[in-house]
Structure 1
Amino acid sequence: MSLKTLQVTWLGEQRYVGVSESGHQLLIDNSATKIGVSPMEALLGALATCTAYDVVQVMGKKRIKLTSYRIEVEGERADEHPRRYTRIVVRHIARGEGLTPEALERAAHLSHEKYCSVAASLNSEVVVETRVEAEAAASV
Structure 2
Amino acid sequence: MQVELTRVDQDFHFQATGASGVAINIDGSPDIGGHNAGARPMELLLMGLGGCSAIDIILILKKQRQQITSFDIKVNAEREKVGDASIFKSIQVHYILGGPLDADKVKRAIDLSLEKYCSVATILYKTATIDYTFEIVG
Establish whether TM, by shorter chain, passes 0.5. yes
Deviations 1:77-107 (A, max 9, x none): 114531100011111111212x132221111
Aligned counterparts of 2:28 and 2:92: Cα–Cα separation in 1: 23
C-alpha deviations, 1:15-55, integer Å up to 9, x for none? 11111123221111114220211001111000000000011
Distance 1:124-1:76 versus aligned 2 partners, 3 A rule: closer
Displaced runs of 4+ in structure 1, greater than 3 A? none
**1:9 corresponds to 2:11:** no
Q: CA deviation at 1:117?
A: 1.1
1:93 to 83, 93, 96: 96
Letter in 2 for 1:30: G
| Counterparts of 2:64 and 2:44, CA distance in 1 | 30
Corresponding position of 1:117: 119
Match of 1:58 in 2: 60
Secondary structure class of the residue paired with 2:99:
strand
Matched length: 121
Paired residue for 1:20, among 12, 18, 21?
18
RMSD of equivalent CA atoms: 1.6
Unaligned runs of 5+ in 2: 128-138
Residue 135 of structure 2 corresponds to none
What is the alpha-carbon distance in structure 2 between the residues aligned to residue 56 and residue 86 of structure 1? Answer: 27
Which of 72, 76, 80 is residue 78 of structure 1 equivalent to? 80
Q: So what's the TM-score if we normalise by structure 1? A: 0.80
Q: Rg: which structure is higher?
A: 1
1:30-49 alignment runs, 5 A limit: 30-32=28-30, 33-49=35-51
Structure 1: runs of 5 or more not aligned: 126-140
Give the Cα–Cα distance (whole angstroms) in 1 for the partners of residues 99 and 12 of structure 2: 41
**Distance in 2 separating the partners of 1:75 and 1:124:** 15
